[in-house]
């Protein structure tokens, strides 16, 4: 089945630790995205990538980093510099940068 997978589903982190969230897609999509969702809010864009080895900052990139070494994979690292990392993180992909985005199931990150 084609789709987008995110792992883990739940993640707990101690303050001061970096953590990496996984996002994989087998849809052969060129573009991938990371969004953050807080309670009572819509989604906000963290980073996006149009193509392998290229990525751009979104609205709230501070405290996050990404890589795009493979077309299928777009991992997100939440660094200790992110002041309030507890949130729900959604990965999405699209055929191209202006095409419909499809979402993975999300990762719930909690900082203890």
By CB under 8 A, name the binding residues for another protein: 31, 33, 35, 40-45, 48, 50, 56-59, 88, 90, 92, 96-106
Question: Sheet holding 4-7: strands in order across?
Answer: 4-7, 19-25, 76-78, 64-66
- Report the candidate in 68, 109, 102 with the shortest Cα–Cα distance to residue 85: 109
Q: Return the number of the residue (22 or 80) whose C-beta is nearest another protein.
A: 22
Nearer to another protein, 82 or 94 (CB): 94
CB of 87 to another protein, least distance (A): 12
| Partners of 47 in beta bridges | 34, 57
Judged by beta carbon, residue 26 or residue 56, the one nearer another protein is 56
Count of alpha carbons within 13 Å of 106, Cβ hemisphere only? 11
Nearer to another protein, 85 or 104 (CB): 104
Nearest approach, Cβ of 13 to another protein (angstroms)?
19
Query: What sign results for the dihedral spanned by CA atoms 50, 65, 62, 34?
Result: positive
Q: How far is the CB of 80 from another protein (least distance, A)?
A: 25
User: Smallest distance, Å, CB 53 to another protein?
Assistant: 18
- Are 13 and 108 in contact by the 8 Å Cβ rule? The answer is no
């Amino acid at each position: 089945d084609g789709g987008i997978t995110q792992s883990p589903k739940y993640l707990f982190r101690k303050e001061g630790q970096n953590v990496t969230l996984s996002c994989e897609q087998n849809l052969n999509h060129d573009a991938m995205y990371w969004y953050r969702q807080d309670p009572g809010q819509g989604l906000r864009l963290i980073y996006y990538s149009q193509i392998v080895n290229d990525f751009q900052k979104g609205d709230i990139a501070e405290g996050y980093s990404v890589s795009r070494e493979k077309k299928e994979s777009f991992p997100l690292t939440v660094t200790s510099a992110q002041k309030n990392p507890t949130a729900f993180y959604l990965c999405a992909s699209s055929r191209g940068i202006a095409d419909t985005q499809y979402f993975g199931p999300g990762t719930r990150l909690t900082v203890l």
